[in-house]
């Protein structure tokens, strides 16, 4: 089983170029948000228990398995994002799918432009779990910059690719 250090170091290998890193900072949050919007429109459950919250809880469980400290940060991010999903859904209703779809496509174009500039294939071509690691990679950089511990044995991965002890 890969550790947090393994995942972040491997993800960093194809994310060294400053333009690619910037595009990931710009594009990963909208990709995650647009997926949450689309999942919310699946007509199952309530505002509290639905496809978005169930998928979110499964993803959070994965994050907590890697680092409970990063898991807590992701709970806060998920809460804010889910509040945004509910606001957008109340404003747009089912039309939210078009907004979310457009955002999703534009953000992925940005991601692929970044990888073109980087000259490296996206990590998820090697392992789909990297689709879950991207948001964690961003948050780990925030934690590193703020000197927030990420867990015993975890390593704060600099977005330049080098690792430092946390």
pLDDT in tens, 69-126: 999 999 999 999 999 999 999 999 999 999 999 999 999 999 999 999 998 888 888 7
Tell me, yes or no, if the pTM score tops 0.95.
Answer: no
Reduced to 3 states (helix: H, G, I; strand: E, B; else coil), residue 157 is: strand
How much is the pLDDT for 14? Answer: 86
**Mean pLDDT of the chain, nearest integer:** 89
Is residue 151 pLDDT above 50, yes or no? yes
CA dihedral 84→85→89→90, nearest 10 degrees, is: -40
How much is the pLDDT for 85? Answer: 97
Taking only the tens place, the pLDDT of each residue in 61-77 is: 999 999 999 999 999 99
Mean pLDDT of the region 12-27? 92
Q: How many CA atoms lie within 13 A of 40 on its CB side?
A: 26
Mean pLDDT of the region 138-151? 93
Q: Which DSSP helix (H) or strand (E) runs through 165?
A: strand 163-165
Is residue 154 pLDDT above 90, yes or no? no
Reduced to 3 states (helix: H, G, I; strand: E, B; else coil), residue 163 is: strand
């Amino acid at each position: 089983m890969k550790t947090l250090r393994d995942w972040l170091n491997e993800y960093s290998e194809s994310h060294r170029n400053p333009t690619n890193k910037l595009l990931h900072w710009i594009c990963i949050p909208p990709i995650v948000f647009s997926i949450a919007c689309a999942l919310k429109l699946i007509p199952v459950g309530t505002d509290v228990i639905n496809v978005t919250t169930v998928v979110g809880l499964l993803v959070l469980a994965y994050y907590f398995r890697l680092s409970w400290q990063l898991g807590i940060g992701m709970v806060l991010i998920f809460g804010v994002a889910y509040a945004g999903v509910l606001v957008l859904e109340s404003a747009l209703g089912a039309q939210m799918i078009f907004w979310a779809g457009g955002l999703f496509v534009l953000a992925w174009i940005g991601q692929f432009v970044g990888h073109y500039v980087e000259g490296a294939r996206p990590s998820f071509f090697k392992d789909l779990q990297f689709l879950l690691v991207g948001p964690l990679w961003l948050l780990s950089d925030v934690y590193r910059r703020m000197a927030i511990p990420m867990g015993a044995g975890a390593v704060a991965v600099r977005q330049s690719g080098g690792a430092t002890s946390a």
